Structure 1
Amino acid sequence: MHFELRLLQRCWFIAGPTAVGKTTLAIEIATRLGAEILSLDSMSLYRGMDIGTAKPSAEEQQRIPHHLVDILDPHEGCDVANYVELAHQAAMEIDARGKIPLFAGGTGLYLRSILRGVFVGPSADPEFRSKVEEEADGQPPGYLHEKLRSVDPASAVRLHPNDQRRLIRALEVYHVTGRPASVLQTQQPLPAADRPRHVYWLEPPRDWLYDRINRRVDAMIAEGLVDEVRALLARPDGIGSTARQALGYKEIIDHLDGRCTLDEAITAIKTRTRQFAKRQHTWFRNLEECTPIAVIPDESPSELADRLVALA
């Protein structure tokens, strides 16, 4: 699955680590460009996951049309190929209205897949998946991560040790094809002349970002994240394995299941979110299509938007 070249070159992309201020900045830029915003966030797809994903508010979504938000129930799955297909359709519709598609978010795999296309991979092997899940039951944390490291160290570096779904998929690809997923997934960038010009990632000072992360987590708890997770768990279809792995949700589920106190869950959310932001930084820095944009702590979103639009 590839974006049409003409459409891709029309798009703008604002990427960056969590809590850097992408949502507000995207709205400011969309106002200036006459754009509509497409979420580049794997968890904003899910209905009912509002607080923990820092989803754009109803007022923000009224101000500028947003797409790829609240399109799935939490028990459903969505792989990168599904996302790119949905994103392509939404971007075509925005373009047909004479608007600019503006992607904003922090899921690096989604960004790379839009820019370079998607490796679909072999079909699922349910028997293998069940066998690996049973094998991992009762094993110490990190068991699947170590197993993957032995056959596909590059994928193991990229994946979080707790991301069981993606760890099993990488093991499955190796089992079915005999080759590491990291080798098969190596899509090359377009020639420089064909790439979209406006692919930016926000690079903030680390201490400034970590302080914002800590304060955001405290605000999410105050806004009712625990009750939001409790409501998700009470849904008739529950919450699926993909949504369960979302930062903040996994830790609160552990708390509600009695595996940790609320204070321990909050500490874990802050720690893992900072770790996630560090991985995002590495991902965007290594994506050659991306232009880094230094975030100046005292600069307002409006001023930063002016600076970016001036690059057009």
Structure 2
Amino acid sequence: MAAAPRLQPVGAARTVSPVESPVPILIITGQTAGGKEQLALAAAARLAGEIISADSMKVYRELDIGTAKPSAAQRRTVPHHLLDVADPGETFSTARWLRLAEQAIADVHARGRTAIVSGGTPLYLKALLEGMFEGPAADPAIRERLKGEAAARGTPALHERLAQVDPAAAARIHPNDLRRITRALEVWELTAAPISDLQKQWGTRRPRWRPLTVAVRRGRDDLTRRICRRVERMLDAGLVDEVRRLAARPGGLGRGPRQALGYAEVLGFLAGRLPQEEIAAAIVAHTRQFARRQLTWLSRFPDIVWLDAAPDAAPDAAPDALAARVVALWRDHVGCAEQT
């Protein structure tokens, strides 16, 4: 049997050559409605920056109100990337985002400007910092055969087979997780190599980025007030009409947008499952739950600098004090006194 091919991580060796130093990037993240977008705009204005969005819903065209996309005026003031790059009905993968993000960062850096990655989708940030395994293209015939075997013999039987060829992967994957078991066996059949081994191929590669990661943190009551204000503004701006129009378009909404905060609740209302007067409360409750999960995820990120934000009266107020702190951290990070 032929030797297994060496598979590259998504975007590997396309933006930084092995002889170059890692590119410094500024990552601004935090919980939803916490003010990270305003901070990114303020920092970009001070650092000649361009913003690369790391938000899994802002990639979709026409999802504007519910995703709190930057305004046209803000986009004219500060260049933005990875907004409106997918149709609402299509599937947009983390691998695709990573390819586009790496290219955008390289382009921004080549122009001598500061690349600012701003967003709160932890999987995107993790992929950017650590890379991700893409592997060989899916083989529909293999997948259908494996799914047929699972239907006939049960998913645990496939898990037992996986344990024989790739014990490490089997130990990580639940015996009933058909999707991941199928993928691991598919990779084994296509490459004759365990997926767990292939995923380690780039573990010691030269880092592509030298990140400074800062996260905006707010008190629970302050964040809840901001979430409530944001939801109220979205509904006043026409969120229900936006969702109704998107749902009626040819092809409708893809799975990601259908599950997005704000969109899922309005779709429930349009389907008769949620009374109109309960839309706002449902969005607020689900957004608060998501914000708690974000905090848990972000707490696991290495070398993150937490910036505690004071409560403000205006939700879109320019965070001057935090921006000044970010500028100082960035100048120290890149090792220079001036940033032009």
TM-score by length of 1: 0.79
Aligned residues: 283
Residue 277 (structure 2) aligns with: 263
Distance between the aligned counterparts of 2:108 and 2:138, measured in 1? Answer: 33
Indicate the structure (1 or 2) with the bigger Cα radius of gyration: 2
Residue 163 (structure 1) aligns with: none
Aligned pair partner of 1:66 in 71, 74, 80: 80
Deviates more, 1:250-259 or 1:298-307: 298-307
Matched letter for residue 176 of structure 1: R
Residues 39-82 of structure 1 show CA distances to partners (whole Å, capped at 9, x for unaligned) of: 01010001110010000011100110101001111011111111
Unaligned runs of 5+ in 1: 136-150, 157-167
Residue 308 (structure 1) aligns with: 326
- Structure-to-structure mapping, 1:87-126, within 5 angstroms: 87-120=101-134, 123-124=137-138
Instruction: Provide the identity percentage.
Output: 42
Deviates more, 1:68-77 or 1:188-197: 188-197
Contact 2:27–2:211 (8 Å) recurs in 1: no
SS in 2 for 1:196: strand
TM-score by length of 2: 0.73
Contact 2:228–2:284 (8 Å) recurs in 1: yes
Residue 336 (structure 2) aligns with: none
Deviates more, 1:114-123 or 1:232-241: 114-123
CA offset at residue 251 of structure 1? Answer: 1.0
Query: What CA RMSD, in Å, does the superposition of the two structures yield over aligned residues?
Result: 3.5
Distance between the aligned counterparts of 1:302 and 1:204, measured in 2? Answer: 16
Residue 7 (structure 2) aligns with: none
> Residues 209 and 152 of structure 1: is their aligned pair in 2 closer, same or farther, counting only changes over 3 Å?
farther
Residues 224-270 of structure 1 show CA distances to partners (whole Å, capped at 9, x for unaligned) of: 00000011112122211122111110111111111111222322211
> Residues 208 and 122 of structure 1: is their aligned pair in 2 closer, same or farther, counting only changes over 3 Å?
farther
Distance between the aligned counterparts of 1:183 and 1:275, measured in 2? Answer: 36
Matched letter for residue 307 of structure 1: R
- Structure-to-structure mapping, 1:1-312, within 5 angstroms: 1=10, 2=12, 4=16, 9-120=23-134, 123-124=137-138, 171-177=178-184, 196-298=210-312, 301-311=319-329, 312=331
Unaligned runs of 5+ in 2: 1-9, 152-168, 189-194, 332-340
> Residues 190 and 18 of structure 1: is their aligned pair in 2 closer, same or farther, counting only changes over 3 Å?
farther
Contact 1:16–1:201 (8 Å) recurs in 2: yes
CA offset at residue 218 of structure 1? Answer: 1.2
